[in-house]
């Protein structure tokens, strides 16, 4: 499936993603065997990575305030025959041993300083060498804590290579 097809397929799913961000996330997910997404909201980004990596094992973490949104996302993944594990809880409550090393980590969860710190502390270590970190709302002026905290964890060029950003999607490769 192409990005254009995947984007059109999810047009009815509300999202804060712009097309250029979606395209970059789709490209990062292609060829991945394991993907962890922290913060699914309505599921647009989840459906994009599932379309890009249909044989991947996808791990999802989100407390899902709305059962209706959760049901819609699960139905969409079942229709795609996507293998996934869903943790309906906050990131801090997921046992770290439940998540294997991943090829792609997409962070778009709790945007507070404390929330981004928890996500970075718990999940950046689960990205395998050569894997990609994608952070949504990176450099968004209205959410400065996302950028500030992520810089703290990705500032070592021996550990993280900065990749070109797309809109508000920051990208890094683990060294």
State yes or no: pLDDT of 11 exceeds 90: no
End-to-end Cα separation, the chain, in angstroms? 29
- The DSSP secondary structure of 72-93, one letter per residue, reads HHHHHHHHTT-EEEEE-S-GGG
pLDDT tens-place string over residues 61-112: 999 888 988 898 899 898 888 999 999 999 999 998 899 999 999 999 999 9
Domains along the chain with CATH numbers: 3-174 (3.40.50.150)
CA nearest to 163, candidates 134, 129, 125: 134
């Amino acid at each position: 499936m192409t990005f254009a097809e995947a984007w059109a397929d999810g047009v009815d799913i509300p999202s804060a993603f712009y097309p250029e961000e979606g395209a970059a996330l789709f490209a990062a997910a292609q060829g991945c065997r394991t993907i962890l997404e922290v913060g699914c909201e309505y599921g647009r980004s989840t459906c994009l990575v599932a379309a890009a990596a249909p044989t991947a094992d996808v791990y999802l973490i989100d407390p899902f305030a709305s059962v209706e949104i959760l049901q819609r996302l699960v139905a969409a993944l079942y229709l795609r025959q996507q293998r996934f594990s869903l943790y309906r809880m906050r990131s801090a409550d997921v046992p770290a041993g439940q998540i294997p090393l991943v090829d792609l980590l997409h962070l778009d969860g709790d945007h507070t300083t404390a929330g981004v710190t928890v996500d970075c502390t718990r999940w950046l270590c689960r990205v395998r060498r050569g894997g990609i970190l994608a952070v949504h709302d990176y450099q968004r002026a209205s959410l400065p804590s996302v950028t500030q905290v992520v810089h703290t964890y990705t500032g070592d060029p021996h550990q993280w290579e900065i990749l070109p950003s797309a809109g508000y999607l920051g990208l890094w490769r683990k060294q």
